[in-house]
Structure 1
Amino acid sequence: MNPLSVLGSSDFSLNIESFGLKGSDSVFLSTCRGAENLVLDTISERNPNIRKVALIPPFTCNTVIEPFLKHGYQVVSYSIDGALNVDLDKFREVLIATSAQVVLVHRYFGFDTLKDFEKIISEFSPKGIVFIEDRTQCLYSTFNQLPVDYIIGSIRKWAGLPDGGFAVCKTGVFTNKPHVYNEELERLKLEASYAKYEYLHKNSGDKQNFLDLFRQAEQQLDSETSYFKISPSSVVIQQNLDSSILKKKRRENYSFLYEGLKDSDILEFLMPKLTEVEIPLYFVMSVKGRNELQRYLQLHDIYAPIVWSKPEVYPDICKEVQNIYDSILCLPVDQRYDVDDMNRIIKCIKEYREYVNN
């Protein structure tokens, strides 16, 4: 089932400004990893003699690190505290000590964990340091855009798109934009989504079938060796996405969990209470015995992802970050759910507490 036939769109374009972002040029790609590769190629093109040392977040995923390694960079990390915030003085010390010339940062789970980072950019940009921000996790939050050289991000993390990422540059243009999309990835994702819909809503088909299709799609994505433009189906789905409902639902669900779990003695919140500018990606908490709670939730049909395992390239990280890798658990708050679902999650976690205490 192809969304193009249902929605009938012939305008296969997206506007980066619809995400509150601005730049001299932008491009929508298949993935954020592809966007990062495009940006690193552009940096090499514009700065052929750049020293290939990159400073990147200590709590992140392999797909953020891989493009740097592919481009021959040495990667080093900066420190964050237990609430995922950056200390500007410590960041400055690491940047000077490592002589890194490319810096990638990202804010976590919809919250501004890079407060006052403009000061670092204004201090080091005149020295030739190139700054990249990954906006994936705060795509719909409305705090200020950092004055970085490049912005990258994923849009498929927020809605049911087959693919979708983007790159933005502050000056100049991207000279190596992709002109073809990954047709096999699009086909697999659409077939998997349709099979899942038939199984869940029409009691038709086999669960293993759509799981296998999704697995094949992820393998197709992981095997990409070059970057592709975003698929037409993803453009159409994004064009028809009601972002106001997305934002409202996520905020409502997050706030409901916050109030319902704030007195729990088996977990700690990693992110604060919402203000007006945050749109959360997940509800994030730190849990002792994290794996046991995750399994208990799964038995009750609640999928709570860990998000990232520590990349092997980071053998030495600060104690605070190691604790995050070891204890983080994320609860879903996206627009597919409502407060009844959140209430079921809260009830399940309270039942788990009783279970482990008896």
Structure 2
Amino acid sequence: MSNREIGGYFELESRLEFEYYPDFIRLNSGRNCLEYILRARNYKKIYVPAYLCPSILEPVRKLKIEFEFYPINIHLEPLEIRALENDEAYLIINYFGLKGNFIRSLSKIVKNLIVDNSLAFFEQAIPNVDTFYSARKFFGVPDGAYLSTNCFLKEELPTETSWNRCEHLVRRLENGPIDGYPSFLDNEKYLCGQEIKSMSNFTYRLLAGINYRSVKIRRNQNFQYLHLKLRAKNRLSIIDTELDGPMIYPLLVENGDFRSELIKQKIFVANYWPSFLVENKQDSIEYDFSKNLLALPVDQRYGLLDMDKICSVLNSLI
């Protein structure tokens, strides 16, 4: 008989219905998905785009794997594709959910491809191509990631615990984003250097209760609305607008110094990634993206009235 407790006080209410990726490996973070792949495949070297979140290099450095940066172009695609040895891997990032079609084409000509869908949760994995996702970039969860692979580690993984790292989620819900931001930073700091663990039960329950169809519809509508209104101002050529739940609307402007003005209007835009302003030359693509790309929110919390506010504020600034 099961040892499950019956009765007593109620836990946090959550609908346990279905996950979006029930057949994938559940882990605690996207960077640990990459570590899982590198260890399982026993890669000795990895090529990574120069424009990436620095945290993705954490497992590479931890495992002391050789890595080499490759440049990208204004279309968020590699400038060139090189041939790989059998023990080398090639990491491609699906930037903001915009590069799905390109990556599918790339998968036909590049072996040992690793797809980072941390910024593209709803992009379906390509069969037999290692692919990973980060949940907290799309949903209100403290951690959690999914990994699609056919190569497995033999070791048993410990399970993550996240009940004590939800303060930023609750504070934002009740008091707004500014009040919860310090706790958010604490949670981000915790995730640095963590060993590979299975997804926490708390995060799993939250992810199993999301109406994913509704989320995708709202994100698609918001993205298309912003693209209709702002594409004439956008230096980034967004050719593929047949998207499925994009992360943000990336607006590349001539000068992104007015980011602080958006924040004053309570429009919070993420900065991908500020470290490039120090590490790269001012005439580089990476510097341009870091300084001048405005990541406009299109997620499920907002509707077209919110998109109108964003457009109104931008029209007064650009």
Q: TM-score range by the shorter chain?
A: 0.7 to 0.9
Structure 2 spans left out of the alignment, 5+ residues: 1-8
Residue 71 (structure 1) aligned to one of 47, 63, 66: 63
Q: Deviations over 1:260-307 (max 9, x none)?
A: 11333xx423433522x43211100212221x2211111100011122
Please, which runs of 5 or more residues in structure 1 have no aligned partner? 45-49, 201-205, 354-358
Residue number among 156, 160, 166 corresponding to 2:140 in the alignment: 160
2:32 to 31, 34, 41: 34
Q: How far apart, in 2, do the equivalents of 1:312 and 1:39 lie?
A: 30
Write the distance in 2 (CA, Å) between the matches of 1:318 and 1:99: 35
On the 8 A contact 2:120/2:133 being kept in 1, the answer is no
Cα deviation, residue 136, structure 1: 1.8
Once the two structures are superposed, residues 192-230 of structure 1 have per-residue CA deviations (whole angstroms, 9 ceiling, x without a partner) of 322332225xxxxx964x3332232222222x3312221
After superposition, the Cα gap between the structure-2 partners of 1:287 and 1:3, relative to the gap in structure 1 and judged at 3 Å, is farther
TM-score (norm 1): 0.76
Residue 310 of structure 1: how far off its partner (Å): 4.5
Distance, in Å, in 2 between the alignment partners of 1:246 and 1:286 is 25
Deviations 1:293-347 (A, max 9, x none): 2111111000111221356997689933443233222100000010000000000
Superposition pairs for residues 14-163 of structure 1, below 5 Å?
A: 14=19, 16=21, 26-44=24-42, 52-86=44-78, 90-92=80-82, 95=83, 101-111=88-98, 112=100, 113-114=102-103, 116-121=105-110, 125=111, 130-142=112-124, 145=126, 147-148=128-129, 150-163=130-143
2:238 to 252, 267, 271: 271
Alignment of 1:281-300 (within 5 A): 281-290=247-256, 292-300=257-265
CA deviations on 1:24-72 (whole Å, 9 max, x unpaired) are xx4211111121122222223xxxxx5x221112211111112111111
2:165 maps to 188
Count of aligned residue pairs for this structure pair: 308
Q: Deviations over 1:130-167 (max 9, x none)?
A: 3322122222135x71642x222212211111111122
More helix by share: 1
Equivalents in 1 of 2:182, 2:74: separation in Å?
37
Secondary structure of the structure 2 residue equivalent to 1:194: helix
Give the direction of change, closer, same or farther, for the CA distance of 1:232–1:58 in structure 2 (3 Å limit). Answer: same
Question: Is it true that 1:218 corresponds to 2:188 in the alignment?
Answer: yes
- State the one-letter code of the partner of 1:234: T
- 247-256 or 322-331, larger mean C-alpha shift: 322-331
Give 1:304's aligned residue: 269
Segment drifting more, 102-111 vs 172-181: 172-181
Q: Which amino acid aligns with 2:164?
A: R
Q: Which residue of 2 aligns with 1:197?
A: 173
Specify whether residues 294 and 259 from structure 1 end up closer, same or farther in structure 2 by C-alpha distance, changes over 3 A only. Answer: same
Q: Is the 8 A contact 1:34 1:227 kept in 2?
A: yes
User: Residues of 1 paired with 2:307 and 2:213: CA distance?
Assistant: 20
- 1:233 CA displacement: 1.7
Q: Distance in 1 between matches of 2:19 and 2:231?
A: 39
The 8 Å contact of residues 4 and 233 in structure 1, kept in 2 or not, is answered as: no
Give the secondary structure class of the aligned counterpart of 2:56: helix
Q: Which residue identity is paired with 1:225?
A: Q
Is residue 73–residue 285 contact of structure 2 (8 Å, CA) maintained in 1? Answer: yes
Determine the C-alpha separation between the residues in 2 that align with 1:55 and 1:141: 22
The Cα of 1:181 is off from its aligned counterpart by: 1.1
Q: Secondary structure at the match of 2:78?
A: coil
The residue type paired with residue 120 of structure 1 is I
Q: Secondary structure at the match of 2:96?
A: coil
Q: Which has the higher contact order (CA 8 A, sep 6+)?
A: 1
- Normalised by the size of structure 2, how large is the TM-score? 0.85
What amino acid is the match of 1:6? E
Output the CA distance in 2 between the equivalents of 1:75 and 1:255. 37
Distance in 2, Cα, partners of 1:318 & 1:76? 20
C-alpha contact (below 8 Å) 1:271/1:285 kept by paired residues = no
Cα contact 1:62–1:311 (8 A) shared by 2 = no
Corresponding position of 2:4: none
Cα gap change, 1:297/1:207 in structure 2, threshold over 3 Å: closer, same or farther?
closer
Identical-pair percentage: 19
CA distance in 2, matches of 1:268, 1:214: 32
Secondary structure of 2:262's aligned partner: helix
